[in-house]
Amino acid sequence: MSDIKTLGEFIVDKQHDFPHASGELSSLLGSIKLAAKIVNREINKAGLVDITGAIGSENVQGEQQQKLDVYANEKFKAALQARDQVCGVASEEEDEAVSFDSEHSRNAKYVVLMDPLDGSSNIDVNVSVGTIFSIYRRISPVGTLATEEDFLQPGHRQIAAGYIIYGSSTMLVYTTGNGVHGFTYDPSLGVFCLSHENMTIPDDGRIYSINEGNYIRFPNGVKRYIKYCQENVPEDNRPYTSRYIGSLVSDFHRNLLKGGIYLYPSTASHPKGKLRLLYECNPMAFLIEQAGGKASDGCQRILDIEPSELHQRVPFFVGSTSMVNKVEEFLETYPDND
Protein backbone atom coordinates (compact mmCIF):
# COMPACT_ATOMS: atom_id res chain seq x y z
CA MET A 1 0.00 0.00 0.00
CA SER A 2 2.91 2.35 0.67
CA ASP A 3 3.80 2.25 -3.06
CA ILE A 4 0.37 3.49 -4.17
CA LYS A 5 0.44 6.89 -5.87
CA THR A 6 -2.90 8.61 -6.36
CA LEU A 7 -3.85 10.79 -9.30
CA GLY A 8 -3.62 13.92 -7.15
CA GLU A 9 -0.17 13.01 -5.85
CA PHE A 10 1.05 12.20 -9.35
CA ILE A 11 -0.13 15.53 -10.73
CA VAL A 12 1.62 17.42 -7.93
CA ASP A 13 4.83 15.49 -8.62
CA LYS A 14 4.57 16.35 -12.34
CA GLN A 15 3.64 20.04 -12.02
CA HIS A 16 6.95 21.02 -13.61
CA ASP A 17 5.79 19.22 -16.77
CA PHE A 18 2.75 21.50 -16.99
CA PRO A 19 4.05 25.00 -17.75
CA HIS A 20 0.60 26.57 -18.04
CA ALA A 21 -0.44 26.28 -14.40
CA SER A 22 0.61 25.46 -10.86
CA GLY A 23 -2.28 24.01 -8.87
CA GLU A 24 -4.84 24.74 -11.57
CA LEU A 25 -4.48 21.45 -13.44
CA SER A 26 -4.86 19.47 -10.24
CA SER A 27 -8.07 21.35 -9.41
CA LEU A 28 -9.49 21.01 -12.92
CA LEU A 29 -8.73 17.30 -13.15
CA GLY A 30 -10.17 17.01 -9.66
CA SER A 31 -13.50 18.17 -11.08
CA ILE A 32 -13.34 15.57 -13.84
CA LYS A 33 -12.31 12.90 -11.34
CA LEU A 34 -15.27 13.69 -9.08
CA ALA A 35 -17.80 13.59 -11.92
CA ALA A 36 -16.27 10.32 -13.16
CA LYS A 37 -16.83 8.73 -9.75
CA ILE A 38 -20.49 9.80 -9.76
CA VAL A 39 -21.08 8.55 -13.31
CA ASN A 40 -19.23 5.31 -12.53
CA ARG A 41 -21.54 4.74 -9.56
CA GLU A 42 -24.64 5.14 -11.74
CA ILE A 43 -23.28 2.93 -14.51
CA ASN A 44 -22.65 0.18 -11.97
CA LYS A 45 -26.31 0.39 -10.95
CA ALA A 46 -27.61 0.13 -14.53
CA GLY A 47 -30.34 -2.48 -14.63
CA LEU A 48 -31.15 -1.97 -10.95
CA VAL A 49 -32.50 1.56 -11.33
CA ASP A 50 -34.29 3.34 -14.17
CA ILE A 51 -31.19 4.80 -15.79
CA THR A 52 -30.91 2.81 -19.03
CA GLY A 53 -32.54 3.30 -22.41
CA ALA A 54 -33.42 6.33 -24.52
CA ILE A 55 -34.80 9.48 -22.93
CA GLY A 56 -37.07 10.33 -25.87
CA SER A 57 -35.14 13.31 -27.24
CA GLU A 58 -32.39 13.84 -29.82
CA ASN A 59 -29.11 15.71 -29.57
CA VAL A 60 -27.98 18.32 -32.08
CA GLN A 61 -26.66 15.56 -34.39
CA GLY A 62 -30.13 13.98 -34.57
CA GLU A 63 -29.15 10.99 -32.46
CA GLN A 64 -31.34 9.49 -29.76
CA GLN A 65 -30.10 10.61 -26.35
CA GLN A 66 -29.75 7.91 -23.74
CA LYS A 67 -30.72 8.66 -20.14
CA LEU A 68 -27.11 8.28 -19.08
CA ASP A 69 -25.97 10.69 -21.82
CA VAL A 70 -28.01 13.45 -20.22
CA TYR A 71 -27.09 12.41 -16.67
CA ALA A 72 -23.34 12.32 -17.41
CA ASN A 73 -23.47 15.63 -19.26
CA GLU A 74 -25.13 17.38 -16.31
CA LYS A 75 -22.75 15.89 -13.73
CA PHE A 76 -19.58 16.81 -15.64
CA LYS A 77 -20.90 20.27 -16.43
CA ALA A 78 -21.83 20.90 -12.78
CA ALA A 79 -18.48 19.63 -11.49
CA LEU A 80 -16.55 21.87 -13.89
CA GLN A 81 -18.68 24.90 -13.14
CA ALA A 82 -18.11 24.46 -9.40
CA ARG A 83 -14.37 25.12 -9.78
CA ASP A 84 -12.71 28.44 -10.61
CA GLN A 85 -10.57 27.21 -13.51
CA VAL A 86 -13.20 26.77 -16.26
CA CYS A 87 -15.02 29.59 -18.06
CA GLY A 88 -17.12 27.34 -20.27
CA VAL A 89 -17.74 23.89 -21.72
CA ALA A 90 -18.73 22.48 -25.09
CA SER A 91 -20.36 19.08 -25.15
CA GLU A 92 -21.53 16.61 -27.74
CA GLU A 93 -24.88 16.73 -25.93
CA GLU A 94 -25.27 20.53 -26.10
CA ASP A 95 -26.42 22.46 -29.17
CA GLU A 96 -24.08 25.35 -28.36
CA ALA A 97 -21.13 26.01 -26.09
CA VAL A 98 -22.04 26.90 -22.50
CA SER A 99 -20.37 29.93 -20.90
CA PHE A 100 -20.35 30.03 -17.11
CA ASP A 101 -21.54 33.45 -15.96
CA SER A 102 -20.03 34.17 -12.56
CA GLU A 103 -17.17 36.38 -11.45
CA HIS A 104 -14.87 33.44 -10.86
CA SER A 105 -15.83 31.76 -14.13
CA ARG A 106 -15.28 34.94 -16.15
CA ASN A 107 -11.75 35.10 -14.75
CA ALA A 108 -11.04 31.43 -15.47
CA LYS A 109 -8.33 30.57 -18.00
CA TYR A 110 -9.59 27.32 -19.49
CA VAL A 111 -12.38 25.76 -21.53
CA VAL A 112 -13.29 22.08 -21.61
CA LEU A 113 -14.74 20.11 -24.51
CA MET A 114 -16.21 16.68 -23.83
CA ASP A 115 -18.13 13.65 -24.91
CA PRO A 116 -19.73 12.88 -21.53
CA LEU A 117 -20.60 9.26 -22.31
CA ASP A 118 -19.16 7.73 -25.43
CA GLY A 119 -20.91 4.53 -26.54
CA SER A 120 -23.79 5.03 -24.12
CA SER A 121 -26.15 2.70 -26.02
CA ASN A 122 -23.84 -0.15 -24.90
CA ILE A 123 -24.93 0.41 -21.28
CA ASP A 124 -28.10 -1.61 -21.92
CA VAL A 125 -26.02 -4.68 -22.78
CA ASN A 126 -23.31 -4.21 -20.13
CA VAL A 127 -20.49 -3.27 -22.52
CA SER A 128 -17.70 -0.82 -21.66
CA VAL A 129 -18.31 2.88 -22.28
CA GLY A 130 -16.31 6.03 -21.57
CA THR A 131 -15.93 9.77 -21.16
CA ILE A 132 -13.62 11.87 -23.36
CA PHE A 133 -12.35 15.33 -22.40
CA SER A 134 -10.13 18.02 -23.86
CA ILE A 135 -8.73 21.18 -22.23
CA TYR A 136 -7.64 24.41 -23.94
CA ARG A 137 -6.46 27.79 -22.73
CA ARG A 138 -9.10 30.39 -23.60
CA ILE A 139 -8.50 32.94 -26.38
CA SER A 140 -11.03 35.56 -25.28
CA PRO A 141 -9.94 38.12 -22.66
CA VAL A 142 -10.00 36.98 -19.05
CA GLY A 143 -12.86 38.69 -17.23
CA THR A 144 -15.35 38.22 -20.06
CA LEU A 145 -17.73 35.45 -21.04
CA ALA A 146 -16.25 32.60 -23.05
CA THR A 147 -16.92 32.83 -26.79
CA GLU A 148 -17.27 30.21 -29.51
CA GLU A 149 -13.75 31.13 -30.67
CA ASP A 150 -12.40 29.68 -27.42
CA PHE A 151 -13.69 26.26 -28.46
CA LEU A 152 -12.86 26.36 -32.18
CA GLN A 153 -9.13 25.80 -31.75
CA PRO A 154 -7.03 23.23 -33.63
CA GLY A 155 -6.09 20.16 -31.65
CA HIS A 156 -2.39 21.01 -31.43
CA ARG A 157 -3.33 23.78 -28.98
CA GLN A 158 -4.69 21.33 -26.41
CA ILE A 159 -2.93 21.58 -23.07
CA ALA A 160 -4.47 18.38 -21.69
CA ALA A 161 -6.77 15.60 -22.81
CA GLY A 162 -7.91 12.23 -21.62
CA TYR A 163 -10.63 9.68 -21.19
CA ILE A 164 -12.29 7.59 -18.51
CA ILE A 165 -13.19 4.02 -19.40
CA TYR A 166 -15.93 2.36 -17.38
CA GLY A 167 -15.31 -1.36 -17.79
CA SER A 168 -14.26 -4.38 -15.74
CA SER A 169 -12.31 -1.72 -13.88
CA THR A 170 -12.62 2.05 -14.23
CA MET A 171 -9.57 3.88 -15.54
CA LEU A 172 -8.68 7.52 -16.13
CA VAL A 173 -6.02 8.09 -18.80
CA TYR A 174 -4.64 11.56 -19.53
CA THR A 175 -1.80 13.57 -21.05
CA THR A 176 -0.55 17.12 -20.63
CA GLY A 177 1.92 16.79 -23.51
CA ASN A 178 4.49 14.86 -21.49
CA GLY A 179 3.51 11.23 -21.96
CA VAL A 180 0.32 9.30 -21.30
CA HIS A 181 -0.52 8.01 -17.82
CA GLY A 182 -3.28 5.71 -16.62
CA PHE A 183 -4.96 5.48 -13.21
CA THR A 184 -7.24 2.67 -12.05
CA TYR A 185 -10.10 3.45 -9.69
CA ASP A 186 -10.04 1.64 -6.36
CA PRO A 187 -13.65 1.77 -5.10
CA SER A 188 -12.63 0.58 -1.62
CA LEU A 189 -10.46 3.69 -1.21
CA GLY A 190 -12.41 6.01 -3.50
CA VAL A 191 -9.25 7.08 -5.33
CA PHE A 192 -7.64 6.71 -8.75
CA CYS A 193 -4.25 4.98 -8.34
CA LEU A 194 -1.36 5.07 -10.80
CA SER A 195 -1.37 1.76 -12.67
CA HIS A 196 0.04 2.57 -16.14
CA GLU A 197 2.84 5.14 -16.23
CA ASN A 198 4.20 6.37 -19.57
CA MET A 199 1.87 4.31 -21.74
CA THR A 200 3.14 3.71 -25.27
CA ILE A 201 1.56 2.04 -28.28
CA PRO A 202 3.57 -0.48 -30.34
CA ASP A 203 4.64 0.91 -33.71
CA ASP A 204 2.83 -1.96 -35.41
CA GLY A 205 -0.04 -4.22 -34.44
CA ARG A 206 -2.29 -7.06 -35.51
CA ILE A 207 -5.72 -5.67 -34.57
CA TYR A 208 -7.99 -3.61 -36.79
CA SER A 209 -11.20 -2.09 -35.41
CA ILE A 210 -13.94 -1.04 -37.82
CA ASN A 211 -17.66 -1.60 -38.29
CA GLU A 212 -17.44 -3.94 -41.26
CA GLY A 213 -21.22 -3.92 -41.57
CA ASN A 214 -20.77 -0.62 -43.44
CA TYR A 215 -18.22 -2.15 -45.86
CA ILE A 216 -20.27 -1.49 -49.00
CA ARG A 217 -20.33 2.25 -48.15
CA PHE A 218 -16.59 2.63 -47.45
CA PRO A 219 -14.12 4.46 -49.75
CA ASN A 220 -12.17 2.24 -52.13
CA GLY A 221 -8.93 2.68 -50.21
CA VAL A 222 -10.50 1.48 -46.95
CA LYS A 223 -12.07 -1.54 -48.69
CA ARG A 224 -8.68 -2.46 -50.11
CA TYR A 225 -7.04 -2.00 -46.70
CA ILE A 226 -9.56 -4.35 -45.06
CA LYS A 227 -8.80 -7.00 -47.68
CA TYR A 228 -5.08 -6.42 -47.01
CA CYS A 229 -5.72 -7.03 -43.29
CA GLN A 230 -7.51 -10.29 -44.11
CA GLU A 231 -4.90 -11.71 -46.49
CA ASN A 232 -3.05 -14.84 -45.40
CA VAL A 233 0.59 -13.67 -45.37
CA PRO A 234 2.22 -15.39 -42.35
CA GLU A 235 5.62 -13.77 -42.89
CA ASP A 236 3.89 -10.39 -42.53
CA ASN A 237 1.82 -11.52 -39.49
CA ARG A 238 -1.36 -11.41 -41.55
CA PRO A 239 -4.26 -11.99 -41.41
CA TYR A 240 -4.89 -9.48 -38.65
CA THR A 241 -7.49 -9.89 -35.94
CA SER A 242 -10.75 -7.94 -36.22
CA ARG A 243 -11.97 -6.47 -32.89
CA TYR A 244 -14.80 -3.92 -32.77
CA ILE A 245 -16.67 -2.99 -29.59
CA GLY A 246 -18.62 -0.01 -30.90
CA SER A 247 -17.34 2.36 -28.22
CA LEU A 248 -14.43 4.57 -29.33
CA VAL A 249 -12.92 4.71 -25.84
CA SER A 250 -12.98 0.93 -25.48
CA ASP A 251 -11.54 0.18 -28.91
CA PHE A 252 -8.93 2.92 -28.53
CA HIS A 253 -7.89 1.71 -25.07
CA ARG A 254 -7.37 -1.88 -26.23
CA ASN A 255 -5.34 -0.82 -29.26
CA LEU A 256 -3.26 1.60 -27.16
CA LEU A 257 -2.22 -1.27 -24.91
CA LYS A 258 -1.84 -4.00 -27.53
CA GLY A 259 -1.13 -2.20 -30.79
CA GLY A 260 -3.65 -1.80 -33.57
CA ILE A 261 -5.73 0.64 -35.57
CA TYR A 262 -9.21 2.10 -35.19
CA LEU A 263 -10.94 3.21 -38.39
CA TYR A 264 -14.08 5.29 -38.83
CA PRO A 265 -13.98 6.43 -42.47
CA SER A 266 -16.46 8.50 -44.41
CA THR A 267 -19.45 6.59 -45.79
CA ALA A 268 -22.17 7.26 -48.32
CA SER A 269 -24.50 8.35 -45.52
CA HIS A 270 -21.79 10.35 -43.69
CA PRO A 271 -19.52 11.74 -46.44
CA LYS A 272 -17.60 13.90 -43.94
CA GLY A 273 -17.25 11.08 -41.44
CA LYS A 274 -19.27 10.52 -38.28
CA LEU A 275 -16.96 11.14 -35.31
CA ARG A 276 -16.71 14.67 -33.91
CA LEU A 277 -13.43 16.49 -34.37
CA LEU A 278 -13.61 18.52 -31.15
CA TYR A 279 -15.09 16.02 -28.70
CA GLU A 280 -13.62 12.72 -29.88
CA CYS A 281 -10.91 12.96 -32.53
CA ASN A 282 -8.75 15.81 -31.19
CA PRO A 283 -8.37 14.47 -27.63
CA MET A 284 -7.73 10.93 -28.86
CA ALA A 285 -5.23 12.23 -31.43
CA PHE A 286 -3.35 14.16 -28.72
CA LEU A 287 -3.21 11.03 -26.55
CA ILE A 288 -2.09 8.70 -29.33
CA GLU A 289 0.69 11.03 -30.49
CA GLN A 290 1.94 11.34 -26.93
CA ALA A 291 1.95 7.53 -26.76
CA GLY A 292 4.01 7.27 -29.97
CA GLY A 293 1.19 6.60 -32.42
CA LYS A 294 -0.56 8.54 -35.18
CA ALA A 295 -4.00 10.01 -35.94
CA SER A 296 -5.16 11.07 -39.42
CA ASP A 297 -8.30 11.87 -41.39
CA GLY A 298 -6.81 9.83 -44.22
CA CYS A 299 -4.66 12.54 -45.71
CA GLN A 300 -3.64 14.95 -42.94
CA ARG A 301 -2.81 15.06 -39.25
CA ILE A 302 -5.95 15.38 -37.11
CA LEU A 303 -4.33 17.92 -34.77
CA ASP A 304 -3.65 20.31 -37.68
CA ILE A 305 -7.29 20.57 -38.81
CA GLU A 306 -8.75 24.07 -38.32
CA PRO A 307 -12.28 23.56 -36.92
CA SER A 308 -15.10 25.57 -38.45
CA GLU A 309 -18.03 24.47 -36.28
CA LEU A 310 -18.61 22.94 -32.85
CA HIS A 311 -20.05 19.65 -34.07
CA GLN A 312 -17.78 19.20 -37.09
CA ARG A 313 -17.27 15.61 -38.20
CA VAL A 314 -14.20 14.05 -39.80
CA PRO A 315 -13.01 10.62 -40.94
CA PHE A 316 -10.75 9.12 -38.27
CA PHE A 317 -7.85 6.68 -38.42
CA VAL A 318 -5.90 6.29 -35.19
CA GLY A 319 -3.44 3.83 -33.70
CA SER A 320 -0.05 2.30 -34.39
CA THR A 321 1.97 4.55 -36.70
CA SER A 322 2.83 1.95 -39.35
CA MET A 323 -0.81 0.86 -39.61
CA VAL A 324 -2.12 4.42 -40.03
CA ASN A 325 0.59 5.05 -42.64
CA LYS A 326 -0.58 1.99 -44.53
CA VAL A 327 -4.21 3.18 -44.58
CA GLU A 328 -3.12 6.57 -45.91
CA GLU A 329 -1.13 4.78 -48.60
CA PHE A 330 -4.19 2.76 -49.68
CA LEU A 331 -6.44 5.85 -49.70
CA GLU A 332 -3.95 7.67 -51.93
CA THR A 333 -3.39 4.70 -54.24
CA TYR A 334 -7.07 3.79 -54.68
CA PRO A 335 -9.13 7.00 -54.82
CA ASP A 336 -12.90 6.77 -55.22
CA ASN A 337 -12.81 8.17 -58.74
CA ASP A 338 -10.80 5.19 -59.93
Ordered DSSP codes for 228-272: HHHS-BGGGTBSPEE---S-HHHHHHHHHHH--EEEE---SS-TT
Predicted local confidence at residue 2, as pLDDT: 56
Tell me the pLDDT of the chain averaged across its residues: 91
Q: Which CATH superfamily is domain 7-196 in?
A: Fructose-1,6-Bisphosphatase, subunit A, domain 1 (3.30.540.10)
On the question of pLDDT at 74 being above 60, the answer is: yes
Q: What's the pLDDT score for residue 66?
A: 72
Provide mean pLDDT across the span 1-16.
80
Q: What is the model's pLDDT at position 333?
A: 97
Q: Report the alpha-carbon distance of residue 239 to residue 206 in Å, rounded.
A: 8
Q: Report the helix count and the strand count for the chain, using DSSP H and E.
A: 9, 17
- The pLDDT assigned to 48 comes to 46
Q: Please name the amino acid found at residue 244.
A: Y
Model pLDDT, residue 241: 97
For the chain, domain boundaries: 7-196, 207-333
Contacts of residue 49, Cβ cutoff 8 Å, sequence gap at least 6 = 42
* pLDDT band, residue 3 (cuts 50/70/90): confident
Note whether 205 and 255 are within 8 A (CB): yes
Residue 287's pLDDT is: 98
The residues pairing with 115 across neighbouring beta strands, listed in sequence order, are: 132
User: What digits encode the pLDDT tens for the residues 306-336?
Assistant: 999 999 999 999 999 999 999 999 999 999 8
CATH (one of 3.40.50.720, 1.50.40.10, 3.10.28.10, 3.40.190.80) for 207-333? 3.40.190.80
